[in-house]
Amino acid sequence: MVKVYIPRDTTALAMGAERLATEMAVEAKNRGADIEVVRNSSRGMFWLEPLVEVETANGRVAYGPVEAKDIDSLFDADFINGGLSHPLCQGLTEEIPYLKKQQRLTFARAGITDPVSLEDYQAHDGFKGLKKALEMSGQAIVDEVKNSGLRGRGGAAFPTGIKWQTVHDAVAPGDAAQKYIVCNADEGDSGTFADRMVMEADPFMLIEGMTIAGLAVGATQGYIYLRSEYPIAHQILNEALAKAEAANLLGENIQGSGKTFHLEVRLGAGAYICGEETSLLESLEGKRGLVRAKPPLPAIVGLFGQPTIVNNVLSLAAVPYILAEGAKAYADYGMGRSLGTLPFQLAGNIKRGGLVELAFGLTLRELLEDFGGGTFSGRPMRAVQVGGPLGAYLPESQWDTPLDYESFAAVSAVLGHGGVVVFDDTVDMSQQARFAMEFCVVESCGKCTPCRIGSTRGVEVIDRIVNDENREDNLELLNDLCDTMIDGSLCAMGGMTPFPVKSVINHFPEDLHKPVTEDMAS
Amino acid sequence: MTAFNEQSRQQVCDIVEEMKNLPGAMLPILHAIQDAQGYIHADAVSIIADGLAQSRAEVHGVISFYHHFRTTPPGKHTIQVCRAEACQSMGSRQLEAHVKEKLGIGFHQTSADQQVSLEPVYCLGNCACAPSIQVNDDVVGRVTASKFDQLVDQLSTQALEVK
Ligand SMILES: Cc1cc2nc3c(=O)[nH]c(=O)nc-3n(C[C@H](O)[C@H](O)[C@H](O)COP(=O)(O)O)c2cc1C
Ligand code: SF4
Ligand code: FES
Ligand code: FES
């Protein structure tokens, strides 16, 4: 029996993996070939999806991107024995430079294991961190996370260990004394899919990380707040949760330790602002996602008024490795105050889009060129938006910036959640500035005026600039409006929307000064 | 989509009864109703309000806050077009214009024959193979105008076959 791997990851499915898996099984039967189709998840080399892998004595051999129409020729080329002659053959998967050059800690198992097989997870170091944690004091776990230097991967880069310490030390008020672990799986940023990949490729790792967090601070209930746009992740998470519970890796008296941790998935409902942690908590409580003023911090007054850890998927997913291998092993990656690895996500107009997990310190250009291979369209690259819709657009003069939090901050940019969206030279940057404001109109929670009204004004002002109505005056007005939003907004939605807008004003001014043409006026 | 009859009312009551004691029950209830009935009917709002001991205005406030929830019946098929940046970089603005022209409707509208509802979405997590759309439950990547036309034609043939 030969194992043939066909991913059930969202992007693989979006490129035809389901039909491929079905027809592959049928054709194997027709030919009397003895294969087992395993539904793994993606390796994160999305330009090769659907990527079919075949197990051979030398390791897995990869073929991609495979369409249903290629099945016949694959069998003819003896792919089930790793035949190398097929034009779609990529050789041994592990030797593909894109993958080989990465430092995969969080994504070490992605695409290798069956995401919902506990046996696979355990055979690949799964639950090693939890086993250690079950024998440690809460404080010792918190110390380990502190010493790893892990900073939150959701955008704000706040030290995870310090957040955990606060929740550890907080005394839950009231009769229903209860602390909570909340995983922020709202991943709303365009250009990001690392959280999705964790949940679709390695859900037990997230479950393990959250359980360890529960042990660290004495929380017995956790929620994964998952965006409703991720139905595949939802299904896979639920399958994994059921298996973990059945194996007593979750629930009451975990592995006879006397410790308890319950975990549940809750769905968002298509609101970007609910990725902001206090809006998320309101939403989990069943309310409109209006942002709360801070302080008090969620660590002290969080879900249902109780001390709560809110962490991004990637932050929690890094924890099992840190516990299993030790804080130092993790901190040995990276530079300065940016320790460990960050999964970058190459997206948009890029030849080789996908997930690239590396220690901090590579430059943006190396990422775009060595990994990304230039644009998908083959045209020159012009602008790169890093860090999601609230992140700046970087012109070529800034592409040599090292990919770490402080270097990006120094050029008024953010790494955020590691999303990198590439645009070629056909982009009209005035429209990108306009969209930043428009997105804020659509997604503002409405609590404060600079964000709610300012963004609407922003769209109008940019339209006037583009249409050359009092261009210089309106540019000045736009700058003022940006400053008002930065200074007067309660959260980063209104406070950072000006980042991409200002980056267009500063680095791509020519696009705001174009002569008006007929089709633009329409 | 059928009207809000006795059966739909009973279904809403059952859902509310089953879920109302969950911590933060509102969103799970709204999801369950929309999954079962396609939208949240005005008459469902008072049942939810009673079940959760909240005012109808509060329930309505929650429904209207979230883009995902709808208060009108969707068409037989729902098509979502991603409007976010990674898809823009791969021509989603042109694709969006084509989609609207082909279907003859704009966002938040349903075709006159009740076949298709069109909705915007801001990122489907398929940003490495953009532009992306979602047709009912399936995300589709690298969508071109002709690929879109094919998908729509398939939808209408499927509709004929089921009848
Ligand atoms: C508008 C807005 C959207 C956000 N969206 C997300 C998100 O989708 N996922 C996320 O993890 N953090 C998001 N954040 C950051 C969270 O507020 C919070 O900092 C994070 O969940 C903390 O987890 P971490 O320390 O592990 O990064 C968002 C913040 C803002 C202001
Ligand atoms: S800045 Fe915008 S999103 Fe944030 S609290 Fe104010 S209105 Fe809400
Ligand atoms: S809730 Fe969006 S503006 Fe009132
Ligand atoms: S931006 Fe369209 S799928 Fe992410």
Strands A35-38 and A52-56: unpaired
Cβ–Cβ under 8 Å, residues A508 and A383: yes
Q: Is A102 on the interface with B (CB under 8 A)?
A: no
Instruction: Calculate mean pLDDT across residues B66-82.
Output: 97
Residue A486 clears pLDDT 60, i.e. is over it = yes
Give me the interface pTM, i.e. the ipTM: 0.96
| pLDDT > 70? residue B162 | no
Q: pLDDT of A257-307, one tens digit each? A: 999 999 999 999 999 999 999 999 999 999 999 999 999 999 999 999 999
Alpha helices, H only, A94-230: 97-100, 118-123, 128-134, 138-148, 160-169, 194-201, 203-217
Q: Which residues of A touch B139 (CB under 8 A)?
A: 10-11, 13-14
What pLDDT sits at residue A334? 84
Tokens of A37: 């189709």
The most confident of A160-164, A340-344, B158-162, by mean pLDDT: A160-164
Q: What one-character-per-residue DSSP string does A283-315 give?
A: HHTTS--PPPPSSSPTTTS-GGGS-EEEEEHHH
Could you say which of A189, A267, A346 has the minimum Cβ distance to residue B128?
A346
Span B115-125, pLDDT tens digits: 999 999 999 99
pLDDT score of B158 more than 90: no
Does the pLDDT at position B157 exceed 90? no
How far apart CA B136 and CA B159 sit, in angstroms, is 13
Do B127 and A15 count as a contact with CB atoms less than 8 A apart?
no
pTM: 0.96
Q: Is A190 left (phi over 0), alpha (psi -120 to 50) or beta?
A: beta
Q: What is the pLDDT of residue A479?
A: 97
Ligand nearest to the CA of A151: 1
Q: Which of A445, A513, A440, A421 is nearest to A482 (CA)?
A: A440
Fill in the DSSP letter of residue A251: B
Closest residue in A to B87 (Cα) is: A348
Q: Does A22 touch chain B (CB under 8 A)?
A: no
Backbone angles phi, psi at A40, to 5 degrees: -80, -165
- Tokens representing A31? 């030919």
The structure tokens listed for A268 are: 């968002």
| Number of neighbouring beta carbons within 10 Å of residue A320 | 29
10 Å Cβ neighbour count for A487?
A: 11
Nearest CA in chain B to A190: B123
Q: How far, in Å, is the centroid of ligand 3 from the Cα of A274?
A: 13
Cβ-nearest to A285 among B24, B84, B132 = B24
Tell me, what's the pLDDT at B91? Answer: 98
Which regions of A331-394 does DSSP assign to beta strands (E)? 334-335, 338-339, 341-348, 354-359, 381-386, 393-394
Structure confidence at residue A175 (pLDDT) = 73
- CA–CA dist A417, A388 (Å, integer): 7
Nearest Cα neighbor of B86 from B38, B142, B6 is B142
> Six-digit token pair at B51?
């079940």
**With 60 as the cut, is the pLDDT of residue A107 above it?**
yes
Structure tokens at B29: 């209830």
Q: State both tokens at A201.
A: 């490729």
Digit-coded pLDDT (tens) for B4-18: 899 999 999 999 999
Q: How many angstroms does the Cα of residue A272 sit away from the middle of ligand 2?
A: 11
Per-residue DSSP letter, A252: S
Contact A193 B127 (CB under 8 A): yes
From CA A85, how far away is CA A91, in angstroms rounded? 10
| pLDDT for A349 beyond 70 | yes
Nearest CA in chain A to B128: A347
pLDDT above 50: residue A237: yes
Question: CB B86 to CB A348 under 8 A?
Answer: yes
On whether the CB atoms of residues A142 and A304 are closer than 8 A, the answer is no
| Cβ atoms A225, A183 nearer than 8 A | yes
Tokens of A422: 């590439």
pLDDT, residue A361, reads 82
pLDDT at B77 over 50: yes
> Do the Cβ atoms of A421 and B141 come within 8 Å?
no
Mean pLDDT computed over every residue of chain A: 96
Q: For ligand 3, is residue A446 a contact (CB within 6 Å)?
A: yes
Cβ distance of A269 and B67 shorter than 8 Å:
yes
What is the atom index within ligand 3 of the atom nearest the CA of B65? 1
- Residue B44's pLDDT is 97
SS3 at position A136: coil
Pocket test for ligand 4, best of B81, B126, B135 (most atoms within 8 A of CB): B126
Q: How confident is the model at residue A519 (pLDDT cuts 50, 70, 90)?
A: low
Checking if the pLDDT of A521 tops 70, the result is no
Say if A497 is an interface residue toward chain B (CB within 8 Å). Answer: no
Q: Concatenated DSSP letters for A41-73?
A: ---SBGGGPSPEEEEETTEEEEE-S--GGGHHH
Q: What angle do CA A223, A225, A226 make, to 5 degrees?
A: 135
The pair of structure tokens assigned to B112 is 């006159």
* Residue B98: Cβ within 10 Å count: 18
Mean pLDDT, rounded, for A218-234:
98
pLDDT, position A336: 83
Q: Which two tokens stand for residue A320?
A: 């099992």
Contact A421, A348 (CB under 8 A): yes
Q: Looking at residues A114-122, what average pLDDT do you find?
A: 97
Rounded to 5°, the CA angle A420-A422-A428 comes to: 130
Determine the distance in angstroms separating the CA of B143 from the nearest CA of chain A, rounded to an integer: 10
Kind plus residue range of the DSSP H or E element containing B150: helix B145-162
Reported as a single tens digit per residue, the pLDDT across B89-117 is 999 999 999 999 999 999 999 999 999 99
Arithmetic mean of pLDDT, A323-350: 93
Cβ-proximal residues to B81 (8 Å cutoff; 6+ apart), any chain: B92, B95, B96, B99, B107, B118, B119, B120, B121, B133
Q: How confident is the model at residue A520 (pLDDT cuts 50, 70, 90)?
A: low
Rounded mean pLDDT of chain B? 95
| Residue percentage of chain A with pLDDT more than 90 | 95
User: To test the ligand 3 pocket, which listed residue (A441, A452, A489) has its Cβ within 8 A of the most ligand atoms?
Assistant: A452
